[in-house]
Amino acid sequence: MAVLKKKHFADYPADRSLGMLAAIASATLSGAIGCAVSVEVHVSNGLPGFTIVGLPDAAVREARDRVRAAVLSSGLPWPMSRVTVNLAPSGVRKAGAGLDLPIAVGLLVATGHLPPDCTEGLAFCGELGLNGSLRHVPGMLALADAVSSPGLVVPLVDVHEAALVRGAGVHGVATLSDLVLVLRRQSPWPPAPEVDTDVSAPPGPDLSEIRGQMVGRRALEVAAAGRHHLLLVGPPGSGKTMLAERLPSLLPPLSKEEALTVSRVHSSAGGALPTGGLLDRPPFRAPHHQATIVSLVGGGNLSFRPGEVSLASHGILFLDELGEFSIAALEALRQPLEEGLIRINRAGGSVTFPADFLLVAAMNPCPCGEGVFEGACKCSVVIRARYRRRISAPFLDRFDLVVPICRPSADDLLSEVPGEPSANVAARVAAARQRAAARGNEQPTLTAEANDCLRQKLREGALSARGFSKVKRVAQTVADLEGEDVLTYNHVSEALRLRAGRSAVIA
Ligand SMILES: [Zn+2]
């Protein structure tokens, strides 16, 4: 790190009788979206002190200590003056440590250690370490999107992420003292680090690795084609998780806009993006059944972080052992399932994250796990009934597909013939989706036979009014997969088979 030559207060002298003011452009995160912020630093004579106003959260309030240590570590003096930092607009909650850098720069300008015009056309985002190093800021993608200045200064580690949305004009610096040298025009901007942008995420597990499981495979295909929420019901060891993990490989790659949304959410969750580019594959998230509600839906006391429902946006949220999730956890999924987003309200304000996912869940039909087969279950009637009450009927209704899964047969397991690879199925899924998109909201036409079949089920009470419309929707997806316009008896009866698992889990 460059050690700066100590200079006196008035390196860049000015009339200080009224105090000195600097305004630095920056941004803060609101959910996964960035908001432009102007950091105003006022230094005046008076009792030495440091105040931050303008709805700072705890991390921003702590900026004073980090900025002070970083300034001193960089060989610059800390002013014995009254320092007021105002974060405008005052109505927006300012979160995280990314405002450290603009506060430090504003302070150095206001105290005359940087030339007053050196920040023109530049915005600054970065957390400061006590030694003056610049650290990674969560959500750089969204922050970089929010600032309007032509230039943006960020920590070296965040350059490639900021550049994804801004292209040129992003400068990465490693330390505050390096930055001071550049802003004093004593050294050029450091060169951008090289990033391999061709690294794409490794492909997920492939369907060809699964032997047999014809019903499960078909369920995945229909779920992917029609975006139907899917519940797999079967005994332990039947391969429910293996099936679910392969669903992302059947989904089309994300569009540019979806990739931006997904990358923004993952970036605001704290981690730097894993590759040199945007996340372009549908995410797969599998929270444990003991996960806290906050980790599921987002929030937290100190900062608003996206939860699993948001990290799964445009991908899969997989709930294994569905029966073990608390009722409160499943209840918390209601808003995302209905609206495709999650609103988090706390004393410090409210934020909205996207939460538009395909829900896939797996469960045992009963505690012994064998209840999906007639006569195989060893559970008592009471235990079975208690287990089934854990999933409420309204929650079960979220699933268009409730599919019984059996253990693969010995023949299937020993078979040398690989299953159909994901790429083939994904091609059918893409074609079916195109067909559905071209059709729009047109009501399906049913053959007389298909109509009779549904009417019969309604009369028997085997189908509720809600179930009726769901079966029609699934039958439509099956027809789309087969490239047919009219819903036939076969389409409808396959749709009925794909919800046959309901009888094994409903009380
Ligand atoms: Zn049982």
Q: Are 409 and 212 in contact (CB under 8 A)?
A: yes
Give the Cα separation of 123 and 101 in Å (integer).
10
Q: How far is the CA of 289 from the centre of ligand 1 (A)?
A: 20
Q: How far is the CA of 235 from the centre of ligand 1 (A)?
A: 9
Q: What's the 482 CA to ligand 1 centre distance in angstroms?
A: 37
pTM of the full predicted structure? Answer: 0.86
- If you average pLDDT over each of 18-27, 420-429, 497-506, which comes out highest? 420-429
Q: What does the pLDDT look like over 296-354, one tens digit per residue?
A: 988 776 567 899 999 999 999 999 999 889 989 999 998 899 999 998 876 667 788 99
With 70 as the cut, is the pLDDT of residue 14 above it? no
What separation in Å is there between the alpha carbon of 13 and the centre of ligand 1? 82
Is residue 328 packed enough to be buried (19+ CB in 10 Å), middle (13-18) or exposed (0-12)?
A: exposed
CA of 238 to the centre of ligand 1 (A): 15
- 370 Cα–ligand 1 center, Å: 5
Cα–ligand 1 centroid distance for 234 (angstroms): 11
Higher pLDDT, 414 or 206: 206
Give tens-digit pLDDT for 176-205.
999 999 999 999 999 877 766 666 666 789
Q: How far is the CA of 236 from the centre of ligand 1 (A)?
A: 11
CA-CA distance, 467 to 477, in Å (whole number)?
Answer: 15
Q: Is the pLDDT of residue 436 over 70?
A: yes
Identify the pLDDT of residue 5: 57
Please give the distance, rounded to the nearest whole angstrom, from the Cα atom of residue 78 to the centre of ligand 1: 70
User: Rounded to whole angstroms, how far apart are CA atoms 403 and 473?
Assistant: 16
Q: How far is CA 421 from the centre of its chain?
A: 28
Contacts from 338-347 at CB under 8 Å and sequence distance 24+? 342/297, 342/298, 342/307, 342/309, 342/310, 344/31, 344/297, 344/298, 344/299, 344/304, 346/299, 346/301, 346/304
Q: How far is the CA of 500 from the centre of ligand 1 (A)?
A: 18
- Centroid of ligand 1 to alpha carbon of 368 (angstroms): 4
Distance 254 CA to ligand 1 centre (A): 41
506: CA distance to ligand 1 center in Å? 14
What is d(CA 125, CA 110) in angstroms, rounded to the nearest whole number? 18
Ligand 1 centroid to Cα of residue 384, in Å, is: 7
Instruction: List pLDDT tens digits, range 347-379.
Output: 667 788 999 999 999 999 888 888 777 677 888
Residue pLDDT, tens place only, 374-388? 677 888 888 888 888
How much distance in Å is there from the Cα of 216 to the middle of ligand 1? 21
> How remote is the CA of residue 375 from the centroid of ligand 1, in Å?
9
Question: What integer pLDDT is reported at residue 237 of this predicted model?
Answer: 87
- Number of C-beta neighbours around residue 187 at 10 A: 13
Distance 317 CA to ligand 1 centre (A): 27
How many angstroms does the Cα of residue 402 sit away from the middle of ligand 1?
18
C-alpha pair distances (Å), 81 with each of 31, 77, 279: 35, 11, 47
- How close is the Cα of 139 to the center of ligand 1, in Å? 47
Ligand 1 center to residue 225 CA distance, Å?
A: 33
Euclidean distance between the first and final Cα of the chain, in Å?
67
User: How does DSSP assign 74-92, residue by residue?
Assistant: TT-PPPSSEEEEEEESTTS
Phi, psi of 49 (to 5 degrees): -175, 170
pLDDT 10s digits, 145-187? 999 999 999 999 899 889 888 878 999 999 999 999 999 999 9
How many A from CA of 252 to the centre of ligand 1?
A: 38
User: What average pLDDT does the chain have?
Assistant: 88
Rounded to a whole number of angstroms, the CA Rg of the chain reads 29
